[in-house]
């Protein structure tokens, strides 16, 4: 049956399959590192530092990776990402006596490069698989890819907690490396050659986007993801374990449910934002959803600060945050692919996701520092401030939606 499918659809399914498998291991790895090193007695700031190179190298990778994808093809950058993740997992799978802090940070750096090469390749490749006049299809395909990715990342969080409880840290790393090796072999054989390769060879000086709308969207994305990660990366799992006395399975399960729900909502974002009316989203949609997320976060921060039913407030409040954040993220993901130039799309997308990585880096550092100094409520107030900045930046986006 697969043989009868159009070539474009087969390539989309293969890209999605690669991205899905990578995402599960990435989510599981993040949860395993947070819970394992907290179990070993590391502080919130120390755990945040373990992710420093992961996020820092993601910034560099998105910038250079977009240029590299335009020159050598997105099939190569995707496969390089898979191979690097396998190496990172094998390094972390060494016996515990060899897991020094420098080694863990180096492996995390490699994993950060791998993740962003893989994501940039997957998102960019869709542009070449959808015709220019099919903006509704582009929005739908991007939403499905992004939503399914985040749902599976949530499953990865649950898997990480479960693996830590069942087979331990080292064996978890080796098992995930084995799965990705199989995926890499399939990808090398089946993924189209020269996917997303630019017709003209872009120079290194073209790394930074010259498009005003891409630059504004990238700035909004930076603060949007910093607002999420300031409470999500370190503060929340440590708070659930230390303050609410949750087990690894409970912590991993809640974060998994959050990200799965977030991913499901992203997949339905075209319906939520009114694609049935024949319109595709533009500035007004991005701005209104950013403002709504700011309001939700402000209310949540206030209730947590009052310590009103803390467990219920955190669970329900963050689930509501996740729904609204998912629509924001899906809108941004569509807009950047739509705004990107047709030739060398990976350069615009890479620049945009460089800003995304910078936001994650900022949020990760703030998550450890703010939580250790002032607690979870302060993290949420910082998140509110960052979202207010996102809303202000979104005003500068083009008034008109991309033409269908």
Q: How confident is the model at residue 404 (pLDDT cuts 50, 70, 90)?
A: very low
The Cα–Cα gap between 172 and 377 comes to 33
More confidently predicted of 268 and 134: 268
More confidently predicted of 386 and 270: 386
Are 301 and 266 spatial neighbours (Cβ–Cβ below 8 Å)? no
Contacts of 210 (CB under 8 A, 6+ apart): none
* pLDDT over threshold 50, residue 3: yes
Cα-to-chain-centroid distance, residue 4: 33
Closest CA to 31 of 255, 340, 360: 255
Least confident among 9-13, 221-225, 400-404: 400-404
**38-84 residue pLDDT tens:** 888 888 778 878 888 887 887 788 777 766 766 777 778 888 989 99
Are 32 and 164 spatial neighbours (Cβ–Cβ below 8 Å)? yes
The Cα–Cα gap between 341 and 268 comes to 26
First to last CA, the chain: 32
The fold of the 2-195+207-394 domain, in CATH, is Growth Hormone; Chain: A; (1.20.1250)
Q: Return the structure tokens found at 45.
A: 């700031």
The Cα–Cα gap between 401 and 283 comes to 7
* pLDDT over threshold 70, residue 97: yes
Q: What pLDDT is recorded for position 224? A: 94
Q: Show the beta-strand stretches assigned E in 225-313.
A: none
The Cα–Cα gap between 104 and 38 comes to 14
The Cα–Cα gap between 340 and 160 comes to 35
Contacts of 101 (CB under 8 A, 6+ apart): 50
Q: How confident is the model at residue 203 (pLDDT cuts 50, 70, 90)?
A: low
Least confident among 140-149, 183-192, 199-208, 357-366: 199-208
**210-259 residue pLDDT tens:** 677 888 888 999 999 999 999 888 888 888 888 888 887 788 788 888 88
Phi, psi of 257, rounded to the nearest 5 degrees: -60, -40
**18-27 residue pLDDT tens:** 888 888 998 8
Domains of the chain, residue spans: 2-195+207-394
Closest CA to 84 of 101, 68, 100, 95: 68
């Amino acid at each position: 049956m697969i043989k009868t499918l159009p070539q474009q659809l087969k390539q989309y399914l293969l890209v999605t399959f690669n991205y899905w498998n990578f995402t599960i291991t990435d989510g599981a790895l993040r949860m395993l590192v947070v819970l394992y090193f907290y179990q070993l007695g590391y502080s919130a700031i120390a755990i945040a530092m373990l992710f420093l190179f992961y996020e820092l190298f993601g910034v560099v990778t998105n910038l250079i990776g977009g240029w590299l994808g335009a020159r050598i093809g997105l099939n190569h950058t995707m496969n390089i990402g898979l191979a690097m993740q396998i190496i990172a997992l094998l390094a972390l799978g060494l016996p515990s006596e060899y897991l020094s802090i420098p080694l863990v940070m180096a492996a995390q750096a490699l994993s950060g490069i791998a993740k962003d090469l893989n994501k940039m390749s997957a998102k960019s490749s869709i542009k070449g698989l959808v015709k220019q006049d099919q903006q509704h299809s582009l929005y739908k395909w991007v939403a499905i890819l992004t939503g399914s990715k985040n749902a599976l990342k949530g499953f990865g969080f649950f898997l990480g907690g479960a693996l830590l409880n069942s087979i331990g840290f080292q064996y978890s790393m080796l098992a995930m490396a084995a799965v990705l090796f199989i995926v890499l072999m399939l990808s090398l054989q089946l993924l189209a050659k020269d996917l997303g390769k630019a017709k003209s060879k872009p120079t290194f000086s073209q790394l930074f986007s010259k498009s005003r709308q891409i630059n504004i969207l990238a700035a909004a994305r930076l603060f949007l993801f910093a607002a999420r990660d300031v409470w999500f990366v370190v503060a929340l799992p440590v708070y659930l374990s230390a303050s609410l006395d949750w087990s690894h399975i409970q912590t991993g399960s809640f974060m998994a449910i959050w990200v799965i729900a977030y991913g499901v909502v992203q997949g339905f974002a075209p319906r939520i934002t009114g694609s049935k009316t024949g319109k595709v989203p533009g500035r007004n949609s991005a701005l209104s959803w950013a403002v709504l997320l700011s309001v939700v976060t402000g209310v949540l921060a206030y209730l947590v600060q009052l310590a009103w039913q803390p467990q219920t407030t955190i669970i329900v409040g963050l689930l509501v945050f996740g729904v609204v954040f998912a629509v924001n993220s899906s809108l941004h993901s569509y807009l950047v692919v739509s705004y990107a130039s047709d030739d060398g799309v990976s350069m615009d997308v890479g620049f945009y996701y460089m800003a995304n990585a910078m936001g994650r880096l900022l949020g990760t550092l703030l998550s450890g520092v703010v939580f250790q100094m002032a607690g979870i409520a302060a993290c949420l107030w910082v998140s509110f401030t960052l979202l207010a900045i996102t809303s202000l930046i979104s005003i500068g986006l083009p008034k008109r939606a991309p033409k269908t």
